[in-house]
Amino acid sequence: MTKEELWRAVLAQIQLNISQANFITWFKNTGITFQEGNQVIVSVPNSFAKEWLENKYGKTILKTLHNLNQEIKEIKYIVGKTELKVLKKTSSTSLPEIGQLEFQEFKINKETNLNPKYIFENFIIGPFNELAHAATWAISKNPGFIYNPLFVYGGVGLGKTHLLEAAGNEIIKNFPQKKVKYIPSEIFTAGVVSSIRNHEVEKFKSKYRAVDVLILDDVQFLAGKEKTQEEFFHTFNDLYEKNKQIIISSDRPPKAILALAERLRSRFEGGMMADISYPDYETRLAILKTKAQERKVNFPEDILNYIASNIQKNIRELEGAINRLSAYQKINNQPLNLEKSKSLLKNLIFSPARVSTPKKIIQAVSEFYDLKEKELLSSSRKKEIVNPRQIAMYLLREDLKSSYPFIGRKFGGKDHTTAIHSYEKVLKELEVNENLNNEINLIRQRILTC
């Protein structure tokens, strides 16, 4: 295996476990510049990326490389020019390209924020998403006049973003003169915050009020963000009165978004609501076959059946399984059997290991900030310990719904008011601090691998 192939295999593996945004941030322009015997040198574009790769992904990278080549026992990271350009397509004879490894984010339309890869043509319909599909499809034929707003909700990885963006892309196709804007809620929030800070509120307002179709993704992130909600409320009303189309997604129905202003909730409920539930077995199989076809690979039925039976609640994971197997198959240039597939998909399928627990949160936070668990649980008032501790408490509350007294006890017998204070402080900080948000998401990914 050449060093390029090795690195592609590492990227294919890592890409499955982190968000596309993080993947691009940390792995763009990286590569293996040297590999001999048990040593590998990975080059990275700058010292910041070096630190992150070493500290946050070092273990995964080493494990992946070691799995592919047992000899490899050590990795060094250097800042320098990379020979391998991941973006560059290679000819099919020398090295097959691996589907998602191109950094597709770059193709996003700057005007609309829409990603052209999300279209109706590659969206598979089953009983679980039929209604949401029908509603978005209808809207894209006649935006503003049928279902307004349209509120699509459902769990993670079930196709909300794909569907919303498909509607956006379809509208542009049908009505090229219409202005469509897709925006994730976190970005909308960041926009509100910075427009206030920079005294550009009017400019911000007019930007969103000039559109014909506004697509706001993952609206649950507006929970507790009062200023942003207020701004969105006014934008909403303005667009609504002008018969402009509003499409919203959320991981839960409006009723279940706590800390959402009542007036927004009733606006959302006043339109059309469509949910996406879990795909049935047949649709899962159809999705797997389509995704394999898109990647120009073939797998025997028994492998596809195995995946469809074992991954039931997340289409992104179905896709991840296909990516992983196709990467392996292409690199090794030989067909896979069921047994090998099972071992390649082990950590994707056996999810108990991926469930979060207080212990894992504490471990992940300590590792992330290079602290000893003892320090995190101590009463130290040092800032570099207090902040991580508050984040750990926040995660216990937010992700595990632990009670405040429980959290207090867990952290060295502190009072429950300390836990409340920590939770609220982090929650507030998240509203204005985009970096903290990224940090916490990275910690969450780490928790899954603890």
What are the φ and ψ backbone dihedral angles of 46, each rounded to 5 degrees? Answer: -155, 170
Using rule CB under 6 A, residue 186 touches ligand ADP: no
Q: Are 192 and 198 in contact (CB under 8 A)?
A: no
> Does 115 contact Mg ion by CB under 5 A?
no
User: With CB cut-offs between 5 and 8 Å by kind, which of ligand ADP, Mg ion, none does residue 208 bind?
Assistant: none
Distance CA 14, CA 414 (A): 38
- Which DSSP letter does residue 222 get? G
- Candidates 402, 403, 378; CA nearest to 389 is 378
Smallest gap from Cβ 199 to ligand ADP, in A, equals: 34
Sheet with 213-217: list strands edge to edge: 180-184, 213-217, 245-250, 150-154, 272-276
- Return the residues of window 140-169 that contact Mg ion according to CB under 5 A: 160-161
Q: Which does 192 bind (CB under 5 to 8 A by kind): Mg ion, ligand ADP, none?
A: none
Nearer to ligand ADP, 35 or 161 (CB): 161
Q: Which residue in the set 157, 224, 253, 412 belongs to the binding site for ligand ADP (CB under 6 A)?
A: 157
Considering only residues 244 through 263, tell me which ones interact with Mg ion, judged by CB under 5 A. none
Task: Tell me the C-alpha distance between 307 and 312, whole Å.
Answer: 9
Among 3, 50, 160, 397, binds ligand ADP (CB under 6 A): 160
- Single-letter amino acid code for the residue at 159: G
End-to-end CA gap in the chain: 30
Q: To the nearest 10°, the Cα dihedral for 424, 428, 433, 436?
A: 10
**CB proximity list for 209: less than 8 A, separation 6 or greater:** 235, 238, 239
Q: Could you say which of ligand ADP, Mg ion, none residue 157 binds, taking C-beta under 5 to 8 angstroms by partner kind?
A: ligand ADP
129 binding ligand ADP? (CB under 6 A):
yes
- Nearer to ligand ADP (CB atom), residue 226 or residue 294: 294
Task: Rule CB under 6 A: say whether 320 interacts with ligand ADP.
Answer: no
- Kindly state whether residue 329 participates in binding Mg ion, applying the rule CB under 5 A: no
Asked whether position 115 contacts ligand ADP by CB under 6 A, the answer is no
From the list Mg ion, ligand ADP, none, which binds 159 (C-beta under 5 to 8 Å, kind-based)? Answer: ligand ADP
Would you tell me how many other CB atoms lie within 10 Å of the CB of residue 114? 24
Choose the contact partner of 147 out of Mg ion, ligand ADP, none; CB within 5 to 8 A by kind. Answer: none
Report how far residue 186's alpha carbon sits from residue 189's, in angstroms, rounded to the nearest whole number: 5
Which one of ligand ADP, Mg ion, none interacts with residue 244, CB within 5 to 8 A by kind?
A: none
Token pair listed for 199? 């005294």
Of 161 and 326, which has the nearer Cβ to ligand ADP? 161
Which among 450, 449, 436, 353 is positioned nearest to 394, based on CA atoms?
436
Q: Structure tokens of 68?
A: 């592919």
Stretch that binds ligand ADP, among 178-186, 191-199, 311-319, 327-335 (CB under 6 A): 311-319
Q: Does residue 100 bind Mg ion (CB under 5 A)? A: no
159 binds ligand ADP (CB under 6 A): yes
Taking the complex as a whole, the smallest distance from the CB of residue 221 to ligand ADP amounts, in Å, to 12
Nearest to 432 by CA among 193, 120, 150: 193
Geometric angle at alpha carbon 444, from 182 and 357, rounded to 5°: 135
Nearer to ligand ADP, 4 or 280 (CB): 280
User: Which residues would be at the binding site for ligand ADP (CB under 6 A)?
Assistant: 122-124, 129, 156-162, 287, 315-316, 319
